[in-house]
Amino acid sequence: MPRYLVTGAGGFLGRYICEQLVARGDEVRGLARGAYPELDALGVEMVRGDLADRDAVMRACEEVDCVFHVGGMVGVWGKWFDYFQANVHGTLNVLGACREQGVTRLVFTSSPSVVFDGKDQRGVMADVPYPTRWLAHYPHSKAIAEDFVLTQDGSDVAGSGMLRTTSLRPHLVWGPRDHHLTARLVERARSGQLRRVGPGGNRVDMVYVENAAEAHLLAADELDKPEPKNAGKAYFITQAEPVDLWRWVDEILALVDLPPVTRSVSARAAYAAGALLEAKHWSSRNWRREPRMTRFVARQLATDHWFDKEAAAEDFGYRPRISTAEGMERLGVWLRSKQ
């Protein structure tokens, strides 16, 4: 029976991947820094450790056939060193462990932000070049890591054949147990701090978390075929139906009986405020606290960014099984249970 390793197993997406693997009868190991009783209860074998710890990563990869490298440092604020350690150095540790332990498949969780240049993106294909200018350390570090992963496809693995790699770029992952995207939207709306950036009407892709998890399993299964179509390639993972960003935000707020966003700020003013707040935070004692606005967030909230949906369907059969409407119902039940 193949054994699967999920790095970042205790995180939002990582936990769903573990659950889906267990549900289909696979043997699963997780790597995480903390303790997760819910994963222990599922029968997931947990290894405590940090991605920057080479020995911990090496132990986690022992007798593993496939790695889902989901773990890393997310967010839009922090020091470059921290992002580099988690996302670049950590990924190099995973690649090294895969080679030394004879792992044959690696599915890397990336982000569409690795190709975001601050401008509108409409129907973008996955082979679009990385930008030359970055507005945040997260996409920069993930792009470096993704490039390492994809260029390692087909390399020798300690006499055990070939390491096959692929990269998935799920965009705006949401759903029950999301303590980041939707939870923060609700928190800001309740505190009166939520503003629409730009005139509205910008269309974005997003993906329900269970669909994103299923895409990872499908990609790994394709890598196991004699001639996988996805080896060495990157793919956008979405609901395959872009939404009006601010209308969708209003629909999320309505799930917990909050009014729609009515106050707004221009895209230019938001970007300028982001630049000012970034400079102010770095020069203050409170630099660890994320500013209310950053240049990256300002651009993300005001632009179109939707992507090619055909490649993932054609190469490894990914199609969103859970509709946006059904996912929103499930999200609403979870959000209301937390009130």
CATH number, domain of 221, equals: 3.40.50.720
Quick one: pLDDT band at residue 339, thresholds 50, 70, 90?
confident
- Domain of residue 40 covers 3-174+206-239+306-321
pLDDT at residue number 161: 59
Residue 234 covered by a domain: yes
Quick one: pLDDT band at residue 139, thresholds 50, 70, 90?
very high
What domain count does the chain have?
A: 1
Residue 211 covered by a domain: yes
The pLDDT tens digits of the residues spanning 305-333 come to: 999 999 999 999 999 999 999 999 999 99
pLDDT at residue 145 tops 60: yes
| Least confident among 159-163, 275-279, 292-296, 303-307 | 159-163
- Rounded mean pLDDT of 181-187? 91
pLDDT at residue number 251: 97
138 is catalytic: yes
> Looking at the whole model, is its pTM more than 0.85?
yes
Percent of the chain with pLDDT over 90: 89
Secondary structure (H, E, C), the chain: CCEEEEECCCCHHHHHHHHHHHHCCCEEEEEECCCCHHHHHHCCEEEECCCCCHHHHHHHCCCCCEEEECCCCCCCCCCHHHHHHHHHHHHHHHHHHHHHHCCCEEEEECCHHHHCCCCCEEEECCCCCCCCCCCCHHHHHHHHHHHHHHHCCCEECCCCCEEEEEEEEECCEECCCCCCHHHHHHHHHHCCCCCEECCCCCEECCEEHHHHHHHHHHHHHHHCCCCCCCCCCEEEECCCCCEEHHHHHHHHHHCCCCCCCCCEECHHHHHHHHHHHHHHHHCCCCCCCCCCCCHHHHHHHHCCEEECCHHHHHHHCCCCCCCHHHHHHHHHHHHHHCC
Residue 24 covered by a domain: yes
Residue 63 covered by a domain: yes
Residue 255 covered by a domain: no
Catalytic residue among 4, 36, 83, 138: 138
The pLDDT tens digits of the residues spanning 197-209 come to: 999 999 999 999 9
